[in-house]
Chains A and B, each alone.
Chain A
Amino acid sequence: EVQLVESGGGLVQPGGSLRLSCAASGFTFSGYEMNWVRQAPGKGLEWVAYISTSGSISYHADSVKGRFTISRDNAKNSLSLQLSSLRAEDTAVYFCARGESSSGWFGYWGQGTLVSVSS
């Protein structure tokens, strides 16, 4: 059974940093592209970042470019998102999601971890 379990969320002050993790199991992690997607309270979904199977290629949404960094450790079946220079508008539930094809759909999602940015 495919499982994605996020962790690392919490309350952080504006300007602070946080590292989110996503533990993958039930599939060959190194064979799949991965993404982070977030959802602010009461709002829609927003794609945040993508990483290729090897980790050599990554893309970030314009809203987080230069502040967030996606990475992966295939030996540990783990996906990460380093968040820095956090702003109030980064408050959201962050989901990791598995990419399924070249057309870009996400077949499996974790349950999410909440990041709250407030003083």
Chain B
Amino acid sequence: SYVLTQPPSVSVAPGKTARITCGGNNIGSKSVHWYQQKPGQAPVLVVYDDSARPSGTPERFSGSNSGNTATLTINRVEAGDEADYHCQVWERSSDHWVFGGGTKLPVL
């Protein structure tokens, strides 16, 4: 089965740039989606199809995907961005959806 690998935690200071990676075999050939989840809340979609933003997602959030790594980038990080971030793909060959293990983003 397809595996997505995320770092458990990425620390960032306010105003700086956070980069959260999602690794998978030839993930560049798939569409990657990213969710933000704050404690006790449901996940919220922040980026879909590698780099598209739903309405409501700040332009500070961007995504990229190439080779074996997809990346969620958050520019000018704010305290309100502190959350867990999950990447996700649809594995076409098995008709299964796969999530990464999630990355905690503490804003120091």
Contact = CB atoms under 8 A, between A and B. Distances in A.
B99 A47 contact: yes
Given A44-B101, A45-B86, A110-B42, A105 B96 contact: no
A105 B54 CA distance: 11
Helix, strand, loop or mixed for chain B's interface? strand
Contact of A106 (B45, B49, B96): B45
27 contacts: A35-B97, A37-B97, A43-B101, A44-B100, A45-B35, A45-B37, A45-B88, A45-B99, A47-B98, A50-B97, A59-B95, A62-B1, A62-B96, A100-B48, A101-B49, A103-B48, A103-B49, A103-B90, A104-B90, A105-B45, A105-B88, A106-B33, A106-B35, A106-B43, A107-B54, A109-B42, A109-B43
Interface of B: 1, 31, 33, 35, 37, 41-45, 48-49, 54, 86, 88-90, 95-102
